[in-house]
């Protein structure tokens, strides 16, 4: 969106400096014409801001390659072999649908809990199989991404990574967290977005209604309500959350394609039953 004039050139420099991989790069301008784009990099200028997940979908159609790497424009790859190592992990494990590096704040080195794609996030250096993803810095097998239908474009912002990860798992794939591969990203607060509470709640409802077997939907949404009441005390935040919850219940979640009960069992065995 041309709103990170200092961060974006650093992100692009670190991406184009990657070694051991062939790159086909596109920058998507979400409601703008991309500025500060290095020579040789493709661009897409969208007339309006269609949201982060749909912007990624549009960009993915314009590049070639066996693997897709989605990269926020305020992230940095501090080591030139990061993409090659992620790619090697995917290529040597056919069942692996996506690989998630460890995201760390460049100044403090801290990995915040929401960046660790599992429930037990106390040790961000512990690797393993994971059932969700941090959307802004992730590598996905192209064939699996296409078969899953890509990101849920209507979500606009928040929870699109859980939706895609669940569908990748429902195809029989898995995800893996590789914390020895580091990506730098500032530890910003997602609540800085004015629409955070509304979209967070709306998309949680859509996520459940799109993907879960019917008996699990009330369990998933009940858990979300309890966690929200425990976490938030601000009345304005709770009002916005309630508005988003009602919006989600009113429809708009798109095609319903519930995961199989086999996938529910696989996700549970992997450490995160799809009610949390």
pLDDT at 187: 85
Which contacts qualify for 117-121: CB closer than 8 Å, 24 or more apart? 117/165, 117/175, 117/177, 118/177, 118/271, 118/272, 119/271, 119/272, 119/276, 120/271
- Nearest-10 crossing angle of helices 160-170, 261-269: 110
pTM for the full predicted model: 0.94
What tens digit of pLDDT does each residue of 167-221 get?
999 999 999 999 999 999 998 777 666 689 999 999 999 999 999 999 999 999 9
Region 23-32 average pLDDT: 97
Q: Position of tokens 């990506």?
A: 183
pLDDT band at 4 (very low <50, low <70, confident <90, very high): very high
212, 254 Cβ separation under 8 angstroms: no
pLDDT for position 44: 98
Q: Are 216 and 264 in contact (CB under 8 A)?
A: yes
Q: How far is CA 258 from CA 19, 67, 178, 254, in A?
A: 40, 26, 29, 12
User: What whole-number percentage of the chain has pLDDT above 70?
Assistant: 99
What confidence score (pLDDT) does residue 266 get? 98
Question: Which pLDDT score, from 0 to 100, does residue 100 have?
Answer: 97
Tally of residues, the chain: 276
Tokens of 109: 């080195």
Domain boundaries, the chain: 7-188, 191-269
Per-residue pLDDT at 191? 64
Assign domain 7-188 to its CATH architecture.
Answer: Alpha-Beta Complex (3.90)
103's enclosing H/E stretch is: strand 96-104
Point out the least confidently predicted range of 74-88, 175-189, 257-271: 175-189
In this prediction, residue 193 carries a pLDDT of 63
d(CA 177, CA 133): 9
Interval 97-117 mean pLDDT:
94
- DSSP, collapsed to helix, strand or coil, labels residue 113 as helix
Cα distances from 10 to residues 1, 185, 192, in angstroms, run 16, 11, 23
């Amino acid at each position: 969106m041309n709103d990170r004039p200092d961060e974006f050139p650093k992100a692009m420099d670190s991406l184009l400096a990657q070694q051991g991989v062939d790159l086909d790069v596109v920058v998507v301008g979400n409601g703008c014409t991309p500025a500060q784009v290095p020579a040789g990099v493709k661009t897409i200028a969208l007339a309006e801001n269609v949201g982060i997940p749909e912007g990624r979908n549009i960009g993915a159609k314009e590049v070639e390659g066996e693997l897709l790497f989605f990269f926020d424009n305020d992230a940095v790859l501090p080591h030139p072999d990061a993409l090659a190592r992620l790619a090697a992990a995917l290529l040597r494990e056919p069942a692996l649908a996506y690989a998630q590096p460890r995201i760390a704040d460049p100044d403090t080195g801290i990995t915040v809990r929401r960046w660790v794609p599992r429930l037990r996030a106390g040790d961000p250096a512990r690797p393993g199989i994971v059932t969700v993803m941090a959307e802004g810095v992730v590598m996905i097998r192209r064939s699996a991404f296409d078969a899953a239908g890509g990101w849920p474009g209507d979500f606009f912002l928040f929870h699109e990574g859980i939706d895609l990860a669940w569908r990748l798992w429902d195809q029989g794939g898995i995800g893996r967290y590789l914390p020895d591969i580091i990506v730098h990203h500032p530890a910003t607060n997602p609540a800085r977005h004015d629409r955070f509470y509304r979209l967070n709640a709306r998309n949680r409802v859509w996520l459940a209604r799109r993907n879960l077997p019917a008996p699990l939907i009330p369990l998933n949404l009940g858990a979300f309500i309890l966690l929200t009441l425990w976490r938030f005390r601000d009345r304005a935040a709770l009002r916005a959350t309630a508005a988003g919850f009602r919006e989600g219940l009113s429809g708009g979640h798109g095609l319903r394609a519930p995961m199989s009960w086999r996938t529910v069992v696989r996700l549970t065995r992997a450490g995160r039953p799809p009610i949390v």
